[in-house]
Structure 1
Amino acid sequence: MRVELQNISKRFGSVQANDQVSLLVEAGTIHGLLGENGAGKSTLVKVLSGFISRDSGAVLLDEKSVEIKTPANAIAAGIGMLHQDPLDFPPLSVLDNFMVGKTGTGFIDRGRSLRQLQQLAAHFNFNLNGYETVNNLTVGERQQLELLRLLSLGVSTLILDEPTTGISASQKTALFEAVKQLAAQGKSIIFVSHKLEDVEELCDRVTVLRHGKVIGRAEIPCPDAVLIEMMFGRELALPLKPQTRQSEAALQLEKIRVDTDRLSLHLGDLTVYKGEVIGLAGLEGSGQELLLLLCAGLLHSASGQMVINGMEMTHKPYQEYLDRGIGYLPADRLKEGLVSGLSIHEHVALRTPARSFFVDWKETLKQTVQAIAIFNIRGKPNTPVERLSGGNQQRTQLALLPVPLNLLLMEHPTRGLDIESVLWVWQQLIARCQTGTTILFMSSDLDEIMRYSDRVIVFSGGQASRPIAVADLTVDRLGELIGGRLSDTMEPLAIS
């Protein structure tokens, strides 16, 4: 199906999210919609998929003007959208979710639906169990389920909004193969992203948005420099990572074992030094998150000893970890890092140490204005955090971290961020290392781990490698280790 958007405009209060945006997607092609966080990409595709009403402009399908006011209208017109966070019902089964949206006479043949689910899953090499509860699925598996549901509803135009955020490398490969198959079948695909490598791997052509406007269009392949110039209006420089490791130990672990319902993590002896950056690599759920939670005081070990800055911290209460200058940035910014419904100003007030029973709102407002300026947050003091883009939510989290910090623990610090925001975040983190902060971070982006880590620990099924110097690794070798080839790196986690 040929899809054309003509001069779409949409305003939210004082923010012009889309300004006379036009887009043409031919049947059988994969069209990339590229831009930094907040460029207007998601607003545009939500207009097309019926989640947002446009202020002006027109939508044409196969050169015929249509009105799309709801997601149901969009599905009826053959347009389906795969959201970054899949729209599903976690307490229900895979089959129940697959059947959502199907119309009929009031009776749905569950057996027939199960067979259809199994056939579609097998066609795309997705491993989904119809009776599994969606709560137990990874983000990538939930995404696969939603894709199959949309296909079962007969969509001929598929929108993917930042689909590679939060999924594993193997799930990304499976998703891209499925999308290429769909394009070969004549479906039109709109691929929304800020990742150049994803657009270059998958798309035929690309439209670039900046500040709600179309800046340019290009055929793929296209030089990175050209796309970056269109996205940001300038070249971007990589932050330099000087040698910041000191001789003083920041974190020492001895024969640690952490047990959960799903996994038991075993670590040998580990010493991490002040100013050092340790990357934690591995498939999701392999144990790296348990190490971060342990070091943050949010999880206790079943055995072993932990020393932070020379103080024994095993089984100490969480407040003592805060008092020792330990910061933690979770992957889910809104659910665990920030409080939905509260403004940036209110978050600063919550962070400020209480000196009396009352909050000094004038003083905290000054601090908020200063934080917004220093961290370049695109928002105002009274902006609710859920209205910020992903990059600005991460900037807000960083602004709320106390100074100084001894140990900073992070889950996917740049997940979902555009290139400029990623570079900015790491500039701030490197600056902290230069003042003696030690960083442990987990990431599914192997290039990020290789670029910013001093040493890397690889996790696989509750086992961990010894720390490996980045100089002794390549991205390919790291990928092999993540795949489970840890045999030559399994000596105790000891460092001289």
Structure 2
Amino acid sequence: MKIELKQIHKRFGPVHANNDVTLTVAGGTIHGLLGENGAGKSTLMKVLSGFISADSGEIMLNGRSVTFNSPADAIQNGVGMLHQDPLDFPPMRLLDNFIAGRDGGLRQNRTAAEAEFRKLCQQFDFDLDPDAFVFDITVGERQQLEIVRLLWLGVQGLILDEPTTGISAPQKVKLFATLKQLAAQGKSIIFVSHKLEDVEELCSEATVLRQGAVTGRMPAPFETDGLIEMMFGQVFEVGERPSVPLGSPLLQISDLTISDERLDMAHVDLEIAAGEVIGIAGLEGSGQRLLMQACAGLLPTTHGRIAIDGRPLTNAGYTRYTDAGVAFMPANRMDEGLVPGLTIAEHMILAQRQVQKKAGLPTKSTIDFEIAQQQAETNIAEFNIKGRPDSTVESLSGGNQQRTLLALLPPKLRLLIMEHPTRGLDVESALYIWGKLLARREEGTAIMYSSADLDEILQYSDRIVICFGGQVTAVVPTATTSVTALGYLIAGRTVNEQPNE
């Protein structure tokens, strides 16, 4: 299927999200769509997949002009989109999700549908149980479910929006193999990303957006600096991480055991000094989240001891931890970090009142919204948030949501715990976020964070905690570790061991 977008314009109020965008994707190819957060990539793909309508412009499939009034229209014409957060029904079984979008809905012949499901899974080597529930599978497996569902619906043009965000390295390898197989079958793939390494590995051509407009196109093999300059207007240099003298022990964990309904994590011993940055690496579901939630007071422990600055806090409530200077930034920004429907200014008001309350300062029963607006404008400028005080947080791009979360943190912290602090962010936003974080480190704040990006773990950590199967299997210094060594460790092996064939 040949896909053409011609002179697409889309505005949201004063924001010109897509400005005269033209894009051509040949059949049987994987085309990269690159751009920083907020560049207009997702908007353009929502136009192509029928989720929103363009203000002007034309969509053509195999030379035929088409108009989509809904995602169902797009799918009927052979175009489907796999969103960054898969559109599925977690309380339902995989087979129910598979057949839900087809004519007749759940009244399908389930035996025939299950046979088609298993046939597609076998074709792409997907290990999916049709009787499992969606909330029991990983993000990567949810992507696989969505891919086979769209293929069953007859999709010939497949859009993937930031598909490597939140999946493990093995799942990424399988995803890329699947996309190459689909392209070999003649299908058109549009791979939306801000990750240069993914586009360079997978795509035969790339189009770059910046501030809603096309800034250039490049065929493979790609020239990295050229792509970066098209994305940001300049080439960024990753500077050396400054050395900071470490302080006294700040977080002390002794023989800790944590459990939830899926995993037990036992006998964890760890000590983190003031000013130290600890990266936590492991395959998805290896215990990283359990450990960080326990250290933030969000999850009770069943055994062991947690202390902050020598003060015992084992199984104390979240408020006790925040009073001790601990803050937690979750990976799921909209469900756990921000409040949908509230504006940036309203979030700033809530955060400021919390700071005043902890400091024992009186808080007024009424809010001066004019002052709050001014304070929000100050924070928006300081943290380079692309939004206005009256912008709702769900209207912001992922990078700007992350900057907003950073702006909401209290000014003085002892321990900052973060899940995937740069997940889904472009290189400029990631460098900016880490600049802000390392400035806190220089003030004595200890940082504990998880990341699936091993290069990020090596770049910013003093030591790396390896989690595997609910155990802390190693704590290694960054200076003597490589990406290869980390890859073996998070897979449960040592560098000298060879993986099983």
Q: Judge same fold: TM > 0.5, yes or no.
A: yes
* Alignment of structure 1 residues 159-238 onto 2, 5 Å: 159-238=159-238
Task: Tell which deviates more after alignment, 263-272 or 420-429.
Answer: 263-272
Deviation at 1:259, TM superposition (A): 1.8
- Is 1:458 aligned to 2:475, yes or no? no
The verdict on how the C-alpha distance between 1:461 and 1:12 changes in structure 2, with shifts beyond 3 A counting, is: same
Q: Structure 2: how far apart are the matches of 1:457 and 1:319?
A: 26
- Residue in structure 2 matching 1:482, options 478, 482, 490: 490
Query: Do 1:465 and 1:486's aligned partners in 2 also have CA atoms closer than 8 Å?
Result: no
Show the counterpart of 2:143: 143
* Alignment of structure 1 residues 255-334 onto 2, 5 Å: 255-334=255-334
Q: Structure 1: how far apart are the matches of 2:281 and 2:318?
A: 26
Show the counterpart of 2:126: 126
The verdict on how the C-alpha distance between 1:105 and 1:256 changes in structure 2, with shifts beyond 3 A counting, is: closer
Show the counterpart of 1:335: 335
Query: Do 1:32 and 1:207's aligned partners in 2 also have CA atoms closer than 8 Å?
Result: yes
Q: Could you report, residue by residue, the CA deviation over 1:143-177 in whole angstroms, capped at 9, with x for unpaired residues?
A: 10000000001111111111111111111111110
Q: Structure 2: how far apart are the matches of 1:465 and 1:361?
A: 51
Q: Structure 1: how far apart are the matches of 2:292 and 2:456?
A: 18
Show the counterpart of 1:90: 90
- Residue in structure 1 matching 2:420, options 394, 397, 412: 412
TM-score by length of 1: 0.96
The verdict on how the C-alpha distance between 1:106 and 1:433 changes in structure 2, with shifts beyond 3 A counting, is: closer
Q: Structure 2: how far apart are the matches of 1:487 and 1:320?
A: 41
- Residue in structure 2 matching 1:427, options 422, 435, 439: 435
Deviation at 1:317, TM superposition (A): 2.3
- Residue in structure 2 matching 1:385, options 393, 398, 401: 393
Q: Structure 2: how far apart are the matches of 1:454 and 1:258?
A: 25
Q: Structure 1: how far apart are the matches of 2:394 and 2:105?
A: 40
Q: Structure 2: how far apart are the matches of 1:229 and 1:162?
A: 20
Deviation at 1:245, TM superposition (A): 4.1
Show the counterpart of 1:41: 41
Q: Structure 2: how far apart are the matches of 1:54 and 1:43?
A: 9
Deviation at 1:69, TM superposition (A): 1.7
Deviation at 1:246, TM superposition (A): 1.4
Query: Do 1:239 and 1:426's aligned partners in 2 also have CA atoms closer than 8 Å?
Result: no
Show the counterpart of 2:25: 25
Task: Tell which deviates more after alignment, 96-105 or 218-227.
Answer: 96-105
Deviation at 1:485, TM superposition (A): 1.8
- Is 1:76 aligned to 2:84, yes or no? no
| 3-state SS, counterpart of residue 44 of structure 2 | helix
Identity of aligned residues (%): 53
TM-score by length of 2: 0.95
| 3-state SS, counterpart of residue 466 of structure 1 | strand
Unaligned runs of 5+ in 2: 497-501
Give me the CA root mean square deviation: 1.6
Deviation at 1:487, TM superposition (A): 11
Q: Could you report, residue by residue, the CA deviation over 1:287-336 in whole angstroms, capped at 9, with x for unpaired residues?
A: 11111111111112111111111211112222121111111100000000
Q: Could you report, residue by residue, the CA deviation over 1:132-152 in whole angstroms, capped at 9, with x for unpaired residues?
A: 111111111111000000000
Q: Structure 2: how far apart are the matches of 1:380 and 1:84?
A: 25
Query: Do 2:307 and 2:313's aligned partners in 1 also have CA atoms closer than 8 Å?
Result: yes
The verdict on how the C-alpha distance between 1:106 and 1:424 changes in structure 2, with shifts beyond 3 A counting, is: closer
AA at the equivalent of 2:48 = L
- Is 1:372 aligned to 2:380, yes or no? yes
Show the counterpart of 1:442: 450
Show the counterpart of 1:494: none
Deviation at 1:106, TM superposition (A): 9.1
Show the counterpart of 1:66: 66
| 3-state SS, counterpart of residue 331 of structure 1 | coil
AA at the equivalent of 2:380 = I
The verdict on how the C-alpha distance between 1:487 and 1:480 changes in structure 2, with shifts beyond 3 A counting, is: closer
Q: Could you report, residue by residue, the CA deviation over 1:427-465 in whole angstroms, capped at 9, with x for unpaired residues?
A: 111111011010000011111101111100100011113
Query: Do 1:245 and 1:273's aligned partners in 2 also have CA atoms closer than 8 Å?
Result: no
Deviation at 1:360, TM superposition (A): 3.4
Q: Structure 2: how far apart are the matches of 1:453 and 1:402?
A: 22
Q: Structure 2: how far apart are the matches of 1:452 and 1:105?
A: 49
Task: Tell which deviates more after alignment, 105-114 or 18-27.
Answer: 105-114
Deviation at 1:407, TM superposition (A): 0.2
Query: Do 2:99 and 2:105's aligned partners in 1 also have CA atoms closer than 8 Å?
Result: no
Deviation at 1:239, TM superposition (A): 4.0
Q: Could you report, residue by residue, the CA deviation over 1:187-228 in whole angstroms, capped at 9, with x for unpaired residues?
A: 111111000000001100000000110100001121110000
Deviation at 1:363, TM superposition (A): 3.0
Q: Structure 1: how far apart are the matches of 2:179 and 2:477?
A: 37
Deviation at 1:267, TM superposition (A): 3.3
Runs (4 or more) in structure 1 with deviation over 4 Å come to: 104-107
Q: Structure 2: how far apart are the matches of 1:311 and 1:486?
A: 36
- Residue in structure 2 matching 1:398, options 406, 415, 438: 406
Q: Structure 2: how far apart are the matches of 1:133 and 1:75?
A: 25
| 3-state SS, counterpart of residue 301 of structure 2 | coil
Q: Structure 2: how far apart are the matches of 1:456 and 1:153?
A: 44
The verdict on how the C-alpha distance between 1:106 and 1:422 changes in structure 2, with shifts beyond 3 A counting, is: closer
Q: Structure 2: how far apart are the matches of 1:486 and 1:359?
A: 57
- Residue in structure 2 matching 1:471, options 472, 476, 479: 479
Show the counterpart of 2:351: 351
Deviation at 1:104, TM superposition (A): 5.5
| 3-state SS, counterpart of residue 302 of structure 1 | strand
